[in-house]
Chain A
Amino acid sequence: MSTGLSPEHPVLEVRNLKKYFPIRTGVLSRVTGYVKAVDGVSFSIRSGETFALVGESGCGKSTTGRTILRLTGATDGEIHYDGEDVLAATGERMRKLRRSMQIVFQDPYSALNPRMTIGAAIREILQVHGIASGAAAQERVEELLVRCGLESYHNSRYPHEFSGGQRQRVVIARALALDPQFIVADEPISALDVSIQSQIINLLEDLQNDLQLTYLFISHDLSVVRHMADRVGVMYLGKLVEVADKDEFYREPLHPYSQALLSAIPVSDPSAKKQRIILKGDVPSPSNPPAGCPFHTRCPYVMDVCRSVVPELKPTPSGHYAACHLVHPNA
């Protein structure tokens, strides 16, 4: 089933990805239900682009990123990276995949082992993969640190000696150690001071240009996404509800949820009048999602069909994907 979501040369293809976390109760830990963190997500990323996944916390965007890197197992679905079946890879093939796919974490404070100097942490990775050891590894570490805006002598420092922004630079340097082509950036700036955020964004952009990196950029900050992304996917309750090119998305969001999200972006001009769409109620529990469209409990345009039929993620003639009965009335 080719959804047609794949533009030319996708480097990463995710098809119908599902990740359910079992809910266990009682003495015997019987499984009484599932949290459907990711529930049938399909998208693809072409080489060299930045694909942004946006949505509010708990919508499954981080879980999607972690599942792609096999940091957590998938319940169902397929992930292909550069032709390789990620979920089936083992042994040497998995090691090769690990070298080409890396991750940058949200919280740089927990992302670095407090007991290892950053040099030791990066050298270990180089040694395990047989890339370099001894003086060559040391040289490579210093080169990586300088590349990420740190000083070469920082390699013998411990993580606690760095500020948040510097730590995130270290995390990025570590991610680059294996020369990956694809990086999952899991909210890389949301734990940082606003003044630091732009520096890290610039670093990520420079690295992308210099090293031809492909990013899966996970964020809830739509202003940053507008700056960074080439394409945007919006997630709600474990499902993708809209996928579009960035310009198209910001000009004309089709899904009511996306419209509400975009209306919430703060504008720097205080006199500018803006029509805010205020959503009512809370996000339903992913362990008991509503029937039909997951958004129907909060949608301002809800129709009868929304309560019973799950809308499919389908393209408009202009190639803009949305999962909404308003957009595709005959579905």
Chain B
Amino acid sequence: MQMRNTDMSSIISADKSSAAELSETHEAMATSKRTSEFAEVFRHLLRNRAAVVGLFIIGGFIAASIFAPLLSTHDPLDTVLSNRLQGPSSEYILGTDELGRDLFSRMLYGGRISLSIGLISVLIGVSVGVPIGAISGYFGGKLDILTQRFIDIMIAFPGILLAIVVVTVLGVGVQNVMIATGVASIPVYARLVRGSVLAVKEQSYVAAAHAAGLGHARIIFRQIVPNCLAPIIVQSTFQIATSILWAAGLGFLGLGAQAPTPEWGSILSNGRAYIRTAHHVTTFPGLAILFMVLGFNLVGDGLRDALDPKTR
């Protein structure tokens, strides 16, 4: 009994000291709040095994793109017509394409372009589409009707067609392809976010923010949009892949990356013609896109959970 009492008191005192520690760490956190919140999210991301796998996949692709000049075994533009459409061998790790260029080297250099197209177009889509959708859903009324009808029109066109229009206006080139695929994804985000905002803005904490006199901008971007993050993240992981494929389509039409420039999408679509005789030309870029999407998906899922205070 005596023992238990002392045990209990030591536990209680331990509790107290940990409470004191807690409040200390809280004070420390308050001072370096931004960095600690970022670290917190990252820590939870690392605890998620699937997300770590995703990080490795993405990291691998990024590293391969950065170190492409070191890793490549051949000049990606070098054509050796006698070695057309050869399967993988010790000379050509992933085989050669229809002009006898080394597929492995082309994929490394192509990753640079494809990765940037995927990321930058999503960046454009999110940074324009999310505010449009949020404002449209938040204010409602005539503004909402007008915005949404306009977005209806944009969505009625297939994304690739929209991208073609933008490239036609801006001119051909990789940079413009990034902008075009970004613009083409704006309506997707705008519609998605509007729907989430309509649900979130009815929550009492939004009414409480009004009652507390917070401004509209603060309410939209601090109270509402953070609570719409989950669908935005999921959409973005898929949009990266979609954008790469759109870019491939543009390349195929001669509006994207120009002929000799390697880019996953264009390698893929050029290889289509030889799929029966030399499937490796389509298989490898296809697998690359697949794994990149998988990587972003895993990280996106992990990020969604890490950003949600409830699941961490």
- Who on chain B is nearest to A98 by CB? B213
Q: Is A129 an interface residue (CB 8 A)?
A: yes
Partner pick for A128 among B19, B207, B211, B212, CB 8 A cutoff: B212
Q: Is A56 an interface residue (CB 8 A)?
A: no
Q: How far is the CA of A286 from the CA of B310 in the complex (A)?
A: 40
Partner pick for A174 among B29, B212, B213, B218, CB 8 A cutoff: B212
- Who on chain B is nearest to A109 by CB? B204
Q: Verify A110–B226 contact, CB threshold 8 A.
A: no
Q: Is B26 an interface residue (CB 8 A)?
A: yes
- Who on chain B is nearest to A66 by CB? B207
Which B residues touch A121, using CB under 8 A?
205
A-B interface, 5 closest residue pairs, ranked by CB to CB distance from nearest: A98-B213, A158-B309, A111-B204, A105-B204, A115-B226
Q: Is A153 an interface residue (CB 8 A)?
A: yes
Q: Is B227 an interface residue (CB 8 A)?
A: yes
Q: How far is the CA of A158 from the CA of B40 in the complex (A)?
A: 14
Question: Per-residue 0/1 for A75-107: is the Cβ within 8 Å of any B Cβ (1 yes, 0 no)?
Answer: 000000000000000000011001101110111
Which A residues touch B26, using CB under 8 A?
153, 155-156
- Who on chain B is nearest to A103 by CB? B211
Q: Verify B211–A69 contact, CB threshold 8 A.
A: yes
- Who on chain B is nearest to A126 by CB? B212
Q: Is A125 an interface residue (CB 8 A)?
A: yes
Q: Is B214 an interface residue (CB 8 A)?
A: yes
Q: How far is the CA of A94 from the CA of B213 in the complex (A)?
A: 8
Within 8 A of B (CB), among A99-138: 99, 101-103, 105-107, 110-117, 119, 121, 124-125, 128-129, 138
Which B residues touch A103, using CB under 8 A?
207-208, 211
Q: Verify A110–B204 contact, CB threshold 8 A.
A: yes
Which A residues touch B227, using CB under 8 A?
113-115
Could you list some 30 contacts between A and B, CB below 8 A?
A: A71-B207, A71-B211, A98-B211, A98-B212, A98-B213, A99-B213, A106-B204, A110-B203, A110-B204, A111-B204, A111-B205, A113-B226, A114-B227, A114-B309, A115-B307, A116-B223, A119-B30, A124-B222, A125-B212, A125-B214, A128-B212, A128-B218, A152-B23, A153-B22, A153-B23, A158-B310, A160-B310, A171-B208, A175-B208, A178-B212
CB distance from B226 to the nearest CB of A (A): 4
Within 8 A of A (CB), among B202-237: 203-205, 207-215, 218, 222-223, 226-227
Q: What does DSSP make chain B's interface, helix, strand, loop or mixed?
A: helix
Q: Is A177 an interface residue (CB 8 A)?
A: yes
Q: Verify A71–B218 contact, CB threshold 8 A.
A: no
Q: How far is the CA of A175 from the CA of B210 in the complex (A)?
A: 12
Q: How far is the CA of A253 from the CA of B222 in the complex (A)?
A: 48
Q: How far is the CA of A99 from the CA of B214 in the complex (A)?
A: 11
Which A residues touch B309, using CB under 8 A?
114-115, 117, 158, 160
Most chain A CB atoms below 10 A, which of B205, B207, B211, B222: B211
Q: Verify A124–B214 contact, CB threshold 8 A.
A: yes
6 new A-B pairs (CB below 8 Å) besides A114-B309, A114-B310, A155-B26?
Answer: A71-B211, A105-B208, A111-B208, A153-B22, A153-B26, A175-B208
- Who on chain B is nearest to A137 by CB? B30
